[in-house]
Amino acid sequence: CVESGMVLEEVCQLVESKDWYFPLDLGARGSCRIGGNVSTNAGGNRVLRYGTTRDLVMGIEVVLPDGTVLNMLRRLIKNNTGLDLKHLFIGTEGRYGIITKVMLRLFPKPERRYSALLAMNNFAQITSLLKFARATMPQLSSFEVMWKNYITVAAEVTGSAVPFDGAYQYYVLVEIEGVDSPRLEEDFQAFLENALEQEHADDAIIPQNIAQSQALWILRDASAESMRARAPYLAFDIGIPLKDMSNFIDEVEEAIAKDYPDIECQLFGHLGDGNLHLTTARMREEDFIPVEELVYQITQRYKGSITAEHGIGVIKKPFLHYSRSEEELKLMEQIRQLLNPDNALNNGRVID
Ligand SMILES: Cc1cc2nc3c(=O)[nH]c(=O)nc-3n(C[C@H](O)[C@H](O)[C@H](O)COP(=O)(O)OP(=O)(O)OC[C@H]3O[C@@H](n4cnc5c(N)ncnc54)[C@H](O)[C@@H]3O)c2cc1C
């Protein structure tokens, strides 16, 4: 159990010092706090294997605006005793109460990680690679996709070489983690060989040591710097069923190119979770709202989410109706009126 103000990286280090593992991992690990992670139901790089923060929290303590303390710090995975109240506070961005303590769900500490960067030119190869990886490697923990238009900027801002000299359209960073045994390495090698042989990918970079592996992750973690290098920009965090992802991207890119030819798109994301990050960069600020409307209207048509993991906050609040029905919004507001009647907590965020 930790205090909600602990920085995520410190939480992970503390847990690992006790020979356990808390798998939440995201670019903001050195600054974000576990209370913030829980209140935004953060996702990150290992959702594919361990789930979102919601799945990594066994219990929480919450203080309501009237001073009521809800102690829900139970160590139970199964507990069918009616409404699981902690979920009212996970992912609702502090609108219903303040999270003060978090009971973490821990896992055995992985002894070894292997990563590789695979490259391909057809989007269909990404989905076939994901299916193949899931079927053959239960230790798969990350499946991060970077488009050429993202990885070239990420390489520029981090002073790295562009992998494969940018010869491919898509780059997939896969990682497995597990016990340190020759079997783990052999399984990973076999996966990579078969993936290339069966044309789920056209090329691969296989790091030979931890430093080379970290160099690949530096590219994936450079999203914030890559956006800032092409400011002014909008950062979209879209949830789309994977089967629709390719059509969705084509439609969005075409619509943007037609009406806003000067905008540069950068694409990357946690594709294993159907989560696409789109940055529309080098914008004119007067185009922000029309471009948001454009992207969210297409998202709505695909029954997607206007924010898969970052949350609504203030900026996305006017667009929430693209992902939630009138009835859902009304119920969320009624719960807010019940728990936070004077709007003392985070007024102006998420819902009225
Ligand atoms: C470089 C970078 C990379 C990122 N990558 C990812 C990613 O891969 N996946 C992902 O999901 N997110 C990602 N994020 C966003 C990240 O999830 C959030 O920034 C983080 O989880 C929020 O934690 P925080 O401490 O920064 O919260 P803050 O930004 O301080 O707060 C976020 C919201 O939660 C509320 N809040 C904070 N603490 C509490 C509390 N104790 N009780 C109730 N409400 C509270 C705040 O009022 C606010 O509304 C990234 C952010 C950055 C900067």
| pLDDT mean values, one per 10 residues, the chain (352 residues) | 98 97 94 97 93 97 98 94 97 98 97 96 97 95 96 97 97 96 94 98 96 95 96 97 96 97 96 95 97 98 96 96 98 98 96 94
Residues 94 and 116 in one domain: no
Which residue, by CA, sits nearest to atom 26 of ligand 1?
32
The DSSP call for residue 161 is P
Q: CB under 6 Å to ligand 1: residues?
A: 4, 26-28, 32-33, 35-37, 39-40, 42-44, 93-94, 98-99, 224, 309-310, 346, 349
pLDDT of 27: 86
Which residue, by CA, sits nearest to atom 8 of ligand 1?
44
Going from the Cα of 218 to the center of ligand 1, the distance in angstroms, rounded, reads 20
Residue 28 within any structural domain of the chain: yes
Residue 223 within any structural domain of the chain: no
Q: How far is CA 27 from the centre of its chain?
A: 10
Helix, strand counts (H, E) of the chain: 11, 13
**Number of compact structural domains in the chain:** 3
Which residue, by CA, sits nearest to atom 47 of ligand 1?
94
Which residue, by CA, sits nearest to atom 29 of ligand 1?
36
Last residue of a domain, one of 108, 126, 161: 108
Distances (CA, A) of 126 to 130, 173, 191: 6, 11, 15
Residue 340 within any structural domain of the chain: no
Q: Which residues contact 162 (CB under 8 A, 6 or more apart)?
A: 151, 152, 155
pLDDT of 335: 98
pLDDT of 45: 87
Going from the Cα of 40 to the center of ligand 1, the distance in angstroms, rounded, reads 6
Going from the Cα of 11 to the center of ligand 1, the distance in angstroms, rounded, reads 15
CATH of the domain at 318: 3.30.70.2740
Count CB atoms within 10 A of the CB of residue 223: 21
Helix (H/G/I), strand (E/B), else coil: 286: helix
Could you tell me whether strands 20-21 and 107-108 are parallel, antiparallel, or unpaired per DSSP bridges? Answer: antiparallel
Going from the Cα of 209 to the center of ligand 1, the distance in angstroms, rounded, reads 32
CA dist., res. 65 & res. 341, Å (int): 8
pLDDT of 3: 98
Residues 161 and 195 in one domain: yes
Residues 194 and 121 in one domain: yes
Going from the Cα of 41 to the center of ligand 1, the distance in angstroms, rounded, reads 8
CATH of the domain at 139: 3.30.70.2190
Residue among 11, 26, 45, 88 to mutate when testing ligand 1 (max atoms within 8 A of CB)? 26
Residue among 8, 31, 40, 315 to mutate when testing ligand 1 (max atoms within 8 A of CB)? 40
Residues 256 and 175 in one domain: no
CA dist., res. 318 & res. 55, Å (int): 28
| Residue 56 near residue 77 (C-beta atoms within 8 A) | no
pLDDT of 134: 95
Residue 267 within any structural domain of the chain: yes
Residue 222 within any structural domain of the chain: no
Residues 6 and 104 in one domain: yes
Atom of ligand 1 nearest to the CA of 99: 42
Which residues form the domain of 313? 230-334
Which residue, by CA, sits nearest to atom 38 of ligand 1?
36
Torsion over CA: 277, 323, 258, 280 (sign):
negative
Residue 350 within any structural domain of the chain: no
Residue 8 within any structural domain of the chain: yes
Which residue, by CA, sits nearest to atom 3 of ligand 1?
27
Give the Cα-Cα-Cα angle 259, 264, 269 (nearest 5 degrees).
Answer: 115
At residue 177, what are phi and psi to the nearest 5 degrees?
-145, 145
CA dist., res. 44 & res. 255, Å (int): 29
Residue 345 within any structural domain of the chain: no
